[in-house]
Amino acid sequence: LLLGTWGLVIGCRQPESASDGQGVPAEEISLTEEEFARAKQLFFNYCAGCHGTTRRGATGPHLLPEAPEGSTYPGTRQLGTAAIKAFITNGTPGGMPDWGRQGILSEEEIDLLARFLQLPPPPIPPMNLEDMRASWKVHVPVEQRPTRPQHNRNWRNFVGVVLRDAGKVAIIDGDTKELVSIINTGFAVHILRSSASGRYFYSVGRDGKVTLIDLWMDPPQMVAEIKSAYDARSVDVSKYKGPKGDFIDRYAILGGYNPPHFVILDGLTLEPLKIIRTSGYDVNEGAFYDEARVASIVASHHDPLWVVNVKETGQIWLVDYSGVAQGKVSIDVLKAEQFLHDGGWDHTKRYFLVAANNKNKVVVVDVQEKEVEAIVETGRRPHPGRGANFYNPTYGHLWATGHLGDNTIALIATDPGPNQWKVVKKLELPGVGGGTLFIKTHPKSRHLWVDRTLNNDPELQRTIYVFDTETLELVKELKIPESIPNARAVHLEFNQNGDEVWVSAWGRKDDPSTNAILIYDDRTLELKQVIQGDWLITPTGKFNVYNTANDIY
């Protein structure tokens, strides 16, 4: 193996005897410095989330030149350029997106990536408080912010929409469906979370940038920003109110993929207060993971605690923020299961359920008792988003998850009794393969809504499924209207009243006509409104203020 310096050419050649596994001598790989930099950025934008920055694998398999010991997946050198290109172009039934077929990556980009992946991964640079402070900006100081809403709109029913590839967030009035404001949040903004009061939205981007948006301003605008990681996916806030309401809107927390750390921020200014690295030993093999990425973070409503899910190590950290003002952060580390990803509360908000997606399991944490309550086998690669909570006359309270790797929705019973934490029923989606990213319901709804964004079949990617939560029957299959071509249905969100469901039609970044927000009547299951516009580019996640602040799903 020859690895060039960071000079002109970075190259790699297998030993003479090496082959692609089919008797063909392995090709020589070389990238110019410029190509390497581009490939690194493409990898970061499209691949690192699932395969890891150091490419050791997580939701997706490892992408290392040589397979690590015990891995069932071959090394990328063994696969060779042609096979890697085929994977990137066509995706897989296991949930790998078809980046080429969708036209998101060009043939030339796919070729570049396929060659880059056969070289050793570049190292992760460190980031400290000083680096973060250099990027920290308070655009509107707290004392200059309004003391009451400056508009007459029902801001609790605002919906923040992630405009993924535009690097923006749109704020839409959920009552009138009017666009209220567009905020430049930065590259590949990923999710929004609402402060405990609901007044502020926090966004986090894949570039690790957190922004703070004040919904009381007219129009709502960004009042502070900071870059607290190179690569991140999660942000949350202090939701425990405390006896005197001390913690409302007091802190925020950012979860870093790269560097692997979490950062506690002042909730009103985003000043960075504390960084804690999450590197550590995994719960099964005891292998050390420097890249131990923070996946989902959820805030308890009952205690001053954040549940921080560390992907590679499979540890769940319960972070007590009550002493931050005195410089103290105490952490309980629970051993759970590797490859933790996303999850949400059960209906009591005592138990947090999180997918260990590459292990086909959901871990249940009793946050009150600070222990792992159960580990439940669900299906192939559970991906719940936040999951969905509903009451069923036969099974009692249920929490549900869909799967990336199969066509089922697993219903887990949450009420005390012999069935608690068991999959009591699986609902089936018609057609082949999984690809479900998100499911959603609302306490006032009788429906469970399911997307299938990552299915391999373009028709199923456009389909939304609705189940009756009492009969558990599939009652409707809805499709994105044909007038909106090349779009996939992704992410479902209810309005504050729980009688409308908003679905994103996620289209091409260069063609607004392929993008839309579809609003369905939850009672009649009819499409009641379509929002489109030149500004509506690649809408993905949607976050209703009231539902997000109160964890209603």
User: Which residues are known catalytic residues?
Assistant: 47, 50-51, 96, 341, 383
Rank residues 304 and 541 by Cβ distance to ligand DHE and give the closer one.
541
Buried b (16+ CB within 10 A) or exposed e, 479-502: ebeeebebbbbbbbbbbbebebbb
Query: How far is the C-alpha of 239 from the C-alpha of 181, rounded, in Å?
Result: 26
Rank residues 299 and 412 by Cβ distance to ligand DHE and give the closer one.
299
**Closest separation between CB of residue 210 and ligand DHE, Å?**
12
**Closest separation between CB of residue 213 and ligand DHE, Å?**
17
**Closest separation between CB of residue 491 and ligand DHE, Å?**
5
**Closest separation between CB of residue 211 and ligand DHE, Å?**
15
**Closest separation between CB of residue 463 and ligand DHE, Å?**
16
Helix (H) or strand (E) holding 46: helix 33-46
Q: Where are the beta strands (DSSP E) in 55-214?
A: 137-138, 158-163, 168-173, 179-184, 189-194, 200-205, 209-214
Identify whether the C-beta of residue 358 lies closer than 8 Å to the C-beta of residue 338.
yes
Rank residues 20 and 493 by Cβ distance to ligand DHE and give the closer one.
493
Rank residues 77 and 206 by Cβ distance to ligand DHE and give the closer one.
206
Nearest to 117 by CA among 147, 145, 82, 150: 82
- Three-class DSSP category at 137: strand
Rank residues 341 and 359 by Cβ distance to ligand DHE and give the closer one.
341
Rank residues 77 and 488 by Cβ distance to ligand DHE and give the closer one.
488
Q: In the bound complex, which residue of the shown chain has the CB atom lying closest to ligand DHE?
A: 49
What does the binding site for ligand DHE look like in residue numbers (CB under 6 A)?
A: 49-50, 59, 162, 164, 190-191, 233-234, 295-297, 341-342, 385-386, 437-438, 490-491, 540-541
Give the chain's end-to-end CA distance (angstroms, integer): 51
Query: How far is the C-alpha of 341 from the C-alpha of 323, rounded, in Å?
Result: 27
**CA 170 centroid distance within chain:** 18
Query: Which residues are bridge partners to 80 per DSSP?
Result: none
Strand order in the sheet with 388-392: 388-392, 396-401, 408-413, 423-428
Helix 33-46 and helix 107-116: axis angle, to 10°? 100
**Closest separation between CB of residue 145 and ligand DHE, Å?**
26
Q: Which two tokens stand for residue 468?
A: 């009756």
